[in-house]
Structure formats: structure tokens, C-alpha cells
């Protein structure tokens, strides 16, 4: 079997794994900006009685779109505002992207990061994320002219936000069609998963170097090892844990050496690459575009150097 036929069969398997209503399909190159202009909504408790601060990035053209639920780093303490470039670019490919903050604002005038972390632990973060998702499904019904296909919902996370994401999946995996783990960390990723869900595990070379912001044995390699197929592992060369962030947040990380970063000469190119890799996966799993998988499984179509690329689609059973 030729490689192109194999990729087509793999993509078809992923696309058919989850049925549902017809949604917008982006037919362009995932590594370019999508064809749709994007709007934003900020949802706060003081305005709309939202239990968690959230930002919505959505296509302005009325249509039916798949959905993405995003949790940021440090267990959700890194706010959605620091990922706006990445999230809005993903939305431009035809997705409603919901960034959710477990604590907003993160710091009070005199708080420390340790105090912010303790504040996050008041109450059950997992229940808060789940309740916010249910609230969004109700609240968003009449907020735009588009329809959100909640039966085509992916979870996307960064860093330790992936611990909460993994627990959401383990708590009710039938709600989600796919998952993307960006430089993940989780202490709960030690046992083989007893279910199948398409997943992309993404890592970067520098995140395990210096003061590691990705911990070996708990990061994307471990996620890939315990996950059942279908799954993809992709590791970018020469970039680090904070390089996905918007410029101001990246500058803080870079100057404090909180995580090892590259310099600022290639950040725009890198953010474009990350959104393209994520969008390729989401086009396949949520939009049902059969050829989109090749943009992250065929090394010739990946625009930046990668250190590791593995795929497993030979799934014998579907649970």
C-alpha cells in the first residue's frame, strides 16, 4: 500500500469515528491563516453571570462550526489572553474556540504565585471546568448567527492545564471527539487508557532543557505511550515551552528564564506553525477533511524541523 493511500485510509478512519451534523470544512493549507474573519466575546461573571471567565474566538461568517475547549498552562492559571494569537488563528479555520480561566484575574495586587495556586484549589477545578462547558452550551445558543456543533467538540490544553483536561476526559470521555495535548504535564498519566479517542501529543525540544517546564515521564512522550490509537506525536526542534504565548507574556517568560525559550526572531513563524499543526488535526477529527492529516503525518508537508514524529492508526477495535 502506497503512503498516500495509507494516509487517506487513516484520515478516513479518524473522520468517520465520530458522526454528527455537517460542519464548515476549511479546504486550505492549515499552516496558512484560515479563510474566515474572527470575532471575540469576553464572558465574565459580573456581566453575564459566567462562573468562570472565558473568551470566545469565533468565525464571523454564519455557518455551522465544530467547537474547541481550551485550558492554559499552570493548571489553567495562565490566562486565555496570553494565547490570543494562537487561539484566534485556529478559529479562522472554522472553529468556535472557548478559552476558559479557572482564576481571573490570576493575581491580586499583593498576591504571590503560590497564593494564586492555593486560590485555584478552593473548590473542585474539574467540576468548575465541566460546569462552565455545560453553561456555555446553553448561553451560546443565541449569541451569534452561527450554530455550534457540540457533538464535534475537542479539548485542547497547554502544559499543566493538560492535567485538568485529562481528568475531564477520564470523567466523561463520551462528551469529546478528540484531544490535543500541547507540551502537556500530568501526574495522572501513568495507566494505559482503556478507550479510544484521537489525540495529538505535541512537544518542543527546549521545554525539557535547562529549568524544565516539561518533565520527562509526565509529558507528551508519556501521554503517547499510555494512549490508545489513533494518536500522533510531534516534537518541534529549536523551540520552547513559552514560545506559543503572545508577545508580552513571552517576554516575561524569556526575561525571567522561567522556561527556556528561543530568541524573538522566529516567534511569528513558530506560532503560525503550532496553529497549523493543531488545525490540521482538528480539520481531520472534527471537520472530516480526509487529506488534512497528511500535514502532520507526512514530514514533507511539515514546514519546520521536527525531532520526533510518530503515528499509530492501526486500530483493531472501536469502543
pLDDT at 104: 60
* pLDDT above 80 for 142: yes
Is the separation of the CB atoms in 312 and 231 below 8 Å?
Answer: yes
Contacts of 221 (CB under 8 A, 6+ apart): 201, 203, 233
Segment 206-226 mean pLDDT: 84
Is the separation of the CB atoms in 196 and 216 below 8 Å?
Answer: no
What is the Cα–Cα distance from 319 to 309, expressed in whole angstroms?
26
| pLDDT tens per residue, range 157-205 | 999 999 999 999 999 999 999 999 999 999 888 889 999 999 999 999 9
When comparing pLDDT for 45 and 51, which is higher? 51
Confidence of residue 136 (pLDDT cuts 50, 70, 90): very high
What is the Cα–Cα distance from 230 to 140, expressed in whole angstroms?
31
What is the Cα–Cα distance from 57 to 307, expressed in whole angstroms?
31
Please state the pTM of the whole predicted model: 0.88
Confidence of residue 148 (pLDDT cuts 50, 70, 90): very high
Amino acid at each position: 500500500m502506497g503512503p498516500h493511500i495509507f494516509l487517506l485510509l487513516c484520515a478516513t478512519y479518524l473522520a468517520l469515528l465520530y458522526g454528527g451534523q455537517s460542519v464548515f470544512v476549511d479546504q486550505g493549507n492549515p499552516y496558512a491563516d484560515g479563510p474566515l474573519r474572527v470575532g471575540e466575546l469576553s464572558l465574565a461573571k459580573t456581566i453575564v453571570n459566567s462562573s468562570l471567565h472565558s473568551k470566545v474566538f469565533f468565525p464571523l461568517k454564519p455557518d455551522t462550526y465544530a467547537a474547541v475547549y481550551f485550558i492554559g498552562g499552570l493548571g489553567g492559571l495562565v490566562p486565555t489572553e496570553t494565547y490570543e494569537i494562537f487561539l484566534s488563528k485556529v478559529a479562522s479555520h472554522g472553529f468556535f474556540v472557548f478559552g476558559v480561566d479557572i482564576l481571573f484575574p490570576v493575581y491580586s495586587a499583593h498576591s504571590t504565585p503560590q497564593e494564586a495556586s492555593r486560590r485555584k484549589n478552593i473548590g473542585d477545578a474539574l467540576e468548575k471546568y465541566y460546569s462552565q462547558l455545560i453553561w456555555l452550551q446553553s448561553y451560546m445558543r443565541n449569541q451569534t448567527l452561527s450554530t455550534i456543533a457540540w457533538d464535534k467538540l475537542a479539548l485542547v490544553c497547554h502544559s499543566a492545564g493538560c492535567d485538568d483536561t485529562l481528568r475531564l476526559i477520564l470523567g466523561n470521555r463520551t462528551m469529546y471527539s478528540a484531544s490535543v495535548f500541547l507540551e502537556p504535564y500530568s501526574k495522572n498519566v501513568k495507566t494505559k487508557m482503556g478507550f479510544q479517542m484521537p489525540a495529538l501529543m505535541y512537544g518542543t525540544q527546549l521545554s525539557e532543557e535547562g529549568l524544565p517546564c516539561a518533565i520527562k515521564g509526565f509529558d507528551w512522550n508519556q501521554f503517547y505511550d499510555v494512549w490508545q490509537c489513533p494518536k500522533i506525536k510531534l516534537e518541534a526542534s529549536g523551540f520552547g515551552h513559552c514560545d506559543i504565548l503572545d508577545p508580552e507574556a513571552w517576554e516575561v517568560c524569556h526575561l525571567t528564564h522561567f522556561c527556556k525559550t528561543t530568541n524573538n526572531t522566529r516567534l511569528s513563524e513558530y506560532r503560525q506553525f503550532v496553529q497549523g499543526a493543531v488545525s490540521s488535526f482538528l480539520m481531520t477529527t472534527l471537520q472530516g477533511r480526509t487529506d488534512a492529516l497528511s500535514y502532520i503525518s507526512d514530514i514533507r508537508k511539515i514546514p519546520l524541523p521536527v525531532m520526533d514524529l510518530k503515528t499509530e492508526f492501526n486500530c483493531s477495535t472501536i469502543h
